[in-house]
Amino acid sequence: MQSISFPFGEHFLDLNLEQEADVLLPEMIPAAPDALAAARRALAQPIGCERLSVLARGRTSVAVVINDITRPAPTELLLTALVEELAEAGVGTDRITAIVATGNHEPPTEADLLKMMGRWRSRLRVISHDCQDQDMLTYVGTTNRGLPVHVNRHYAEASLKILTGIVAPHQSAGFGGGRKSVVPGIAGLTTLKAHHSYPIRPSGPVLGIIRGNAFHEEAVAAARLAGADFIVNAVKNYRGEIVEVVAGELEKAHLHGVGICEKAWVRRVPKACDVAFVSPGRYPKDIDLHQAQKGLVVAEQVTRPGGTIVLIAECRNGIGKFGKVLKEARSVDQVIEDFNRQGFSADNSSKAYLFARCCKDHRVFVVSSGLDPAELAQMFMTGFRSLPEAAERALAPYDRPSILCIPYAGDVIPILDDRGTAR
């Protein structure tokens, strides 16, 4: 009997298998002994630019972009180090505005803000970005590829602009962090629609790929137009512990973080499996089905066509607004065709397309305590409350299936040996 533990919200679910399964894990990088010290050290030794305390001299207003609740960034810790560094330049908290990079997500609740920011919630001015509020937006230019860039005006008008976040694998941008705090983080809907649609959006997963990736390149170009004086990004191991903090110039500091990530997260897979059991990772990576899809895309790349994927995700906040598109569609083909033709919109983000793409080629089971199996059935998936029941159903059609377990898929970039690379 083999037992594998999968993150499920802030707890774990155990999968017990009679047949041996392969387990795909990222390399375990030791946590920094003192995470705050790591952040302070990064600020003291920035990559590619002067110290923030030098850049901040004489600046009258500071905008600090922070991740929303769907990202596991150590926002309170990063703000602590930043406020200390800014104080050295004589910049007090009364001149600092934190802008929540919601992109097209739902706005944070007060509880979310407290969880993200801790003591800084009451000490800093906080603005939650709204991509559809025209009064909150300003136009800063158009990229060479023709992407119109509208961003949060509070950010654009600040005399010092700082981006915070976390470097992690991303299915469209290659890696999160850095420039993504601007696009999609604080961009307007017009910008999001163009950036998240073809031809800028890649047609398939590009986990770990930034070179030649238009989605990444246009986000960088947009951030340049909006201005980005300094970034501070954390790198975590798959247990959610801070490994290192990188700080400095927009691209150079981010690329340093990418280099750290690649060492831990790129993993070879000998062949595609029949059945994959996958979790995106611990909360908030499975806060809702929208975010949990980032685990599904990893399994999609290493599961043979016609195979079965079991997504294990708590989804305490439900589905996400993309679900309406799947529920109203006649077929997965319709969802795919509609997105290819119409592109991204506020009500039809790429997420419905990404689920449809996976469901077209695989049986998709979802184990969740926060989702209604009846709703999942309307979305071309099969829902379960019990992992053992889902496993029994998933394995039933096979005699001796090849099984792959990916407990921390949000921290894995797979390379598939038997058909080139998954990347």
| Residue 198: predicted pLDDT | 81
The tally of CA atoms less than 13 A away on the side-chain side of residue 379 is: 28
Torsion of CA 302, 307, 310, 311, to 10 degrees: 50
Report the Cα 403 to chain-centroid distance in Å.
26
Domains of the chain: 2-26+270-416 (3.90.226.30), 35-264 (3.40.50.11440)
User: 385-405 pLDDT, tens per residue?
Assistant: 999 999 999 999 999 999 999
Question: Does the pLDDT of residue 419 top 60, yes or no?
Answer: no
User: 305-358 pLDDT, tens per residue?
Assistant: 999 999 999 999 999 889 999 999 999 999 999 998 888 887 777 899 999 999
| Residue 125: predicted pLDDT | 98
Question: Does the pLDDT of residue 421 top 70, yes or no?
Answer: no
User: 210-243 pLDDT, tens per residue?
Assistant: 999 999 999 999 999 999 999 999 999 999 999 9
Q: What rounded mean pLDDT belongs to the chain?
A: 95
Rounded to an integer, the average pLDDT of 271-293 is 97
CA distance linking residue 261 with residue 259, whole number of Å: 5
- Of the candidate ranges 76-90, 260-274, 363-377, the one whose mean pLDDT is the lowest: 260-274
Residue type, 202: P
Distances (CA, A) of 163 to 63, 66, 246: 8, 7, 12
Question: Does the pLDDT of residue 423 top 60, yes or no?
Answer: no
Torsion of CA 356, 357, 360, 366, to 10 degrees: -60
Sign of the four-CA dihedral 300, 303, 307, 310? negative
CA distance linking residue 214 with residue 231, whole number of Å: 21
Burial class of residue 397 in the structure, from the number of CB atoms within 10 Å of its CB (0-12 exposed, 13-18 middle, 19+ buried):
exposed
Strands 303-312 and 273-278, bridge-based pairing: parallel
Torsion of CA 116, 186, 194, 223, to 10 degrees: -110
User: Which tokens go with 115?
Assistant: 């969880």
User: 87-110 pLDDT, tens per residue?
Assistant: 999 999 999 999 999 999 999 999
Q: How many CB atoms lie within 10 A of CB 342?
A: 11
How sure is the predictor about 418, in pLDDT bands with cuts at 50, 70 and 90? low
Residue type, 404: L
CB 322 within 8 A of CB 351: yes
| Residue 278: predicted pLDDT | 99
Does the bond joining 26 to the residue before it have cis omega, within 30 degrees of 0? no
Torsion of CA 134, 139, 143, 147, to 10 degrees: 20
* Among 375, 379, 374, residue whose Cα is nearest residue 355: 379
CB 360 within 8 A of CB 332: yes
Report the Cα 159 to chain-centroid distance in Å.
28
- To the nearest whole percent, how much of the chain has pLDDT over 70? 99
User: 10-57 pLDDT, tens per residue?
Assistant: 999 999 999 999 999 999 999 999 999 999 999 999 999 999 999 999
| Residue 413: predicted pLDDT | 94
Question: Does the pLDDT of residue 422 top 70, yes or no?
Answer: no
User: 370-383 pLDDT, tens per residue?
Assistant: 999 999 999 999 99
Question: Does the pLDDT of residue 420 top 50, yes or no?
Answer: no
CA distance linking residue 12 with residue 14, whole number of Å: 7
Residue type, 4: I
User: Which tokens go with 346?
Assistant: 């506020």
Residue 137: phi, psi to the nearest 5? Answer: -110, 155
